[in-house]
Structure 1
Amino acid sequence: MLPLTTAYPALQSLRALLSGFAQIFLQQHPGCGLLVLLAILVGAPDLLAGALLGGLTSTLVAQRRGYPPADIAIGLYGYNGILLGLLLSLKLPWTPLLPVLIVTSAGLSSLLLAPWMQRMRQQGWLPAFTFPFVLLGWLLLALTAQLQWPTDTPPAPPGMPELNAPQLLLAVLRGLGQVIFLDSPLAGLCLLLGLHLADGRAAFWALLGSSGGLALAITQGWPDEGALAGLFGYNASLAAIALAQVHRNPLAPAAGILLALILQPGFSAVGLPALTMPFILTCWLIRAGAQSWQRAVKDSTPTG
């Protein structure tokens, strides 16, 4: 009898696509990916087509280039394309140019990721995470600004609600949604359920990261509208999830939350959209610091 993935290639491709949606949150559970899809459908259905086009393109390019099937199957060549599709659909109106930009950038994300992953495994490079998305996202946003293409501007937020427990809870859920540019608490709840389905520990740290971002924003007097929209929680959530996967000691993800929150405002200061770069830098810095500490301990240990 043929294996399921051989007998049903369409099912295999669907599983890889759903895993790509889950990999945005560093998971590889197709059920989690399905709930991420549902979150987009609930929170911003107009972004769904771009996300699907980006994920399909980046996965197809990886297949055509002959990249490792195991990596493709768990969604590692899907998530950067999905994020680029979401970003471009958010920033640009649907014109014939938009799908061209999504397909081109999503394909490039796979071409950038493959050599990085090879060097990570062979030479010990730091993980790429969402760096292809960030790099291409910065270039595309700069290009649209230079060419003065029309961009979709979100409506102005309503008057600030009172800071009470229900509003704070909704803001924490929005912090999860902002990972994929969603400002809907219901979408954030879908994402939390997806994370819990894949890994309950990841769901816990994601909540803690978003809560930490909200708490720091309020105590530091950062803009209340940004805090309640979850804009200060999503990088901290991603950093906490990533570090909790590698370090069983809770100090590492807790430090990641704090460092991501410290780094994020710096991007606004230099005029760059943060996207997920604070999360990436946080993980790189903590991993590099841990490796340096291990080398120092090893060098100081007497031999013989």
Structure 2
Amino acid sequence: MSPLATSHPALQSLRALLNGFAQIFLQQHPGCGLLVLIAILIGAPDLLPGALLGGLTSMLIAQRRGYPPADIAIGLYGYNGILLGLLLSLKLPWTPLLPVLIITSAAFSSMLLAPWMQRMRKHDWLPAFTFPFVLLGWLMLALVIQLPLPLDTPAGTPAAPELSFLQLLLGVLRGLGQVIFLDSPLAGLCLLIGLRLADGRTALWALLGSSSGSVLALFYGWPSDGTLAGLYGYNATLAAIALAQVYRCPLVPAVGIILALVLQPGFSALGLPALTMPFILACWLVKASAQSWQQAVKHSTPS
């Protein structure tokens, strides 16, 4: 029997929760999840209660509804809820309504993910990734705009620091942190250590993804404050990690990085927060193209 099967139920739940934090970066490693949690403590400790509430809610709903225990154990029913808890805690002050919104959205994230995963496994659907988080995040943000609540927005935007190698390096680390709404380079470094703990190759691709975001943003003349804040790195980071796990050819994650960067500005034009949708679309486009190519080759090969 595995250690997980013989451990105390509370330890199983803790391990599943930590795996949920790690799954934000597509990892299945409690140590990585713990470092993600520590990164939140470093970069924005006020967001941690919402993250924990969202993760616990999505996990408990999955347990109550009888979803596969193996999926729960590896954190697949945690990361969308954690991201929703982070997003809503970032946008709203702590009022009695905030926990209600987090619990509701996190619960729905598990109920959306379960049938999607079932169809993915049976009918080869595209992976859900963080789509439940994005869809429910858009709905929640649209809802809170209609409510008479003060939004937690910064009073002013500080002037962007002068471009230098050091600032670009810090921007790359911030690109890792922006996956979970953190702009602290130290938090980004903590995340990088967590990824290295889970898998060294993944950590390298995460760095390449975030670095590519900074380089392309500078090349196209996008605002330097966004570049140095890592806002153009986080979707490229996730695309690089996700595609490098599936495809051994380095050209495939490189294409995903470019697609994520090209798609991101379009959401501003639509008036929607990008969140992680550019990463999702980039991976869907790559996977759908690969599937179409395989089908074309299969049909063109003589039997």
Note whether the superposition's TM-score is higher than 0.5. yes
- By how many angstroms is 1:221 displaced? 1.0
CA distance in 1 between partners of 2:161 and 2:53 (Å): 37
Residues 79-88 or 153-162, more deviating: 153-162
Task: Name the structure 1 match of 2:250.
Answer: 250
Q: Answer yes or no: is the 8 Å Cα contact 1:52–1:85 preserved in 2.
A: yes
Equivalent residue, structure 1, for 2:276: 276
CA contact (8 A) 1:175 1:233 kept: yes
**Which residue matches 1:8?**
8
In structure 1, C-alpha distance between the alignment counterparts of 2:202 and 2:164, rounded to whole Å: 26
Letter in 1 for 2:135: L
Under a length normalisation based on structure 1, what TM-score does the superposition of the two structures give?
Answer: 0.98
Please list, as runs of the form range in 1=range in 2, the aligned pairs for 1:29-48 lying within 5 A after superposition: 29-48=29-48
The 5-angstrom pairing of residues 220-299 of structure 1 reads: 220-299=220-299
DSSP 3-state at the match of 2:26: coil
Q: Name the SS of the counterpart of 2:151 in structure 1.
A: coil
- Aligned equivalents of 1:214, 1:4: Cα separation in 2: 41
Read off the aligned partner of 2:226 and give its amino acid letter: G
Task: Look up the match of 2:127.
Answer: 127
Paired residues of 1:59 and 1:72 also in contact (CA < 8 A): yes
Deviation digits for residues 20-72 of structure 1 (CA, Å, limit 9, x no counterpart): 00000000100000000000000000000000000000000000111000000
| Percent of pairs with identical residues | 80
Amino acid at match of 2:10: A
Q: CA separation of 1:226/1:3 partners in 2, compared to 1, >3 Å: closer, same or farther?
A: closer
8 Å contact from structure 1 (residues 5, 11) kept in 2: no
Give the match for residue 77 of structure 1: 77
Does the 8 Å contact 1:57/1:81 carry over to 2? yes
Q: In 2 relative to 1, CA 167–13 (structure 1 residues): closer, same or farther, beyond 3 Å?
A: same
Shift in alpha-carbon separation, 1:180–1:4, aligned structure 2, 3 A: closer
Q: Which blocks of at least 5 consecutive residues in structure 2 are unaligned?
A: none
CA deviations 1:103-126 (Å, max 9, x no partner) are 111011000000000000011111
- Please give the residue correspondences for 1:37-116 in structure 2 after superposition, counting only pairs within 5 Å: 37-116=37-116
Query: So what's the TM-score if we normalise by structure 2?
Result: 0.98
- Cα gap change, 1:7 to 1:193, in 2 (>3 Å): closer
Cα distance, 1:5–1:256 mapped onto 2, change above 3 Å? same
1:146 CA drift (Å):
2.3
Partner of 1:165: 165
Secondary structure of the structure 1 residue equivalent to 2:260: helix
Residues 2 and 109 (structure 1 numbering): CA distance in 2 closer, same or farther, change over 3 Å?
closer
d(CA) in 2 for partners of 1:178, 1:33? 16
How far residue 145 of structure 1 moved from its aligned partner, in angstroms, is: 1.4
d(CA) in 2 for partners of 1:65 and 1:95? 29
Aligned to 1:194: 194
Alignment of 1:10-25 (within 5 A): 10-25=10-25
* Whole-Å separation in 1 of the counterparts to 2:295 and 2:98: 48
Deviation of the 1:154 alpha carbon? 2.3
Number of corresponding residues: 303
1:207-234, CA deviations, whole angstroms, 9 ceiling, x for partnerless residues?
A: 1111111111111111111110000000
What are the superposed Cα offsets for residues 118-159 of structure 1, whole Å, 9 maximum, x if unpaired? 000011111000000000000001111123421100243322
The answer to whether 1:141 aligns with 2:141 is yes
Q: Could you report, residue by residue, the CA deviation over 1:170-210 in whole angstroms, capped at 9, with x for unpaired residues?
A: 00000000000000000000000000000111111111111
- 1:77–1:110 contact (8 Å) kept in structure 2: yes
Task: Find out whether 1:179 has 2:179 as its counterpart.
Answer: yes
Q: Which ranges of 4 or more aligned residues in structure 1 deviate by more than 4 Å?
A: 1-4
